[in-house]
């Protein structure tokens, strides 16, 4: 093996490193008008961690051209959503203070794992590690999510009032 081949293998190992992958999330964003307009890896990671991994999957799926790959990404997003919903079904009031903290930590870690899977693993597989792109604004998906959550809150309040009445 030549020195160049060894260096190339070491560079590939470095790029496959977890922390290198997280550090390099925004390095391919360019301002070239010919570059494709995609939701950024950072946006996908942030949506996954702070909102829900399913939303990160939706953003990534909107970036992917191939329909079967979109379905795969959305399918994994649904699995993360299902897992987190099932975890949320554990009644919070049965847990001790320590167990409650562990509970929330597990939810956060699950969201982070989902974000990593979508923003690094699937991104590299379906879009490409070295793809240069322009970052698409996240305001529209964020506004849609906020409106959805407001509708959900109103529906829950209406259900509560219809069951318990106004007191």
Number of domains the chain is built from: 2
pLDDT at 19 exceeding the cut of 70 = no
pLDDT at 9 exceeding the cut of 70 = no
pLDDT at 27 exceeding the cut of 60 = yes
pLDDT confidence of residue 18: 47
Place of tokens 């997003």: 77
H or E element at residue 63: helix 53-63
Same domain? 112 vs 160: no
Domain contains 2 = no
Same domain? 130 vs 163: no
Report the alpha-carbon distance of residue 142 to residue 67 in Å, rounded. 24
Range of the domain at 161: 138-167
pLDDT tens digits, residue range 127-161? 888 888 888 888 888 898 889 889 888 998 888 88
- Contact indicator for 52, 46 with CB cutoff of 8 Å: no
Same domain? 65 vs 117: yes
pLDDT tens digits, residue range 73-123? 888 888 888 887 777 776 666 667 777 777 778 888 888 888 898 888 888
Q: Are strands 134-135 and 37-38 parallel, antiparallel or unpaired?
A: parallel
Q: What is the mean pLDDT of residues 5-20?
A: 55
Same domain? 98 vs 127: yes
């Amino acid at each position: 093996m030549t020195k160049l081949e060894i260096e190339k293998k070491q560079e590939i190992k470095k790029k496959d490193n977890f922390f290198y992958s997280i550090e390099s999330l925004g390095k391919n964003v360019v301002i070239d008008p010919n570059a494709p307009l995609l939701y950024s890896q950072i946006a996908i990671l942030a949506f996954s961690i702070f909102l829900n991994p399913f939303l990160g999957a939706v953003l990534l799926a909107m970036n992917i051209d191939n329909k079967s790959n979109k379905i795969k990404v959305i399918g994994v997003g649904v699995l993360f959503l299902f897992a987190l919903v099932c975890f949320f079904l554990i009644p919070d009031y049965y847990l001790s203070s320590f167990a409650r903290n562990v509970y929330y930590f597990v939810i956060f870690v699950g969201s982070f794992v989902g974000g990593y899977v979508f923003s690094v693993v699937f991104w590299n597989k379906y879009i490409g590690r070295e793809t240069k792109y322009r970052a698409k604004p996240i305001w529209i998906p964020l506004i849609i999510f906020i409106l959805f959550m407001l509708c959900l809150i109103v529906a829950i309040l209406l259900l509560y009032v219809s069951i318990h009445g106004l007191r």
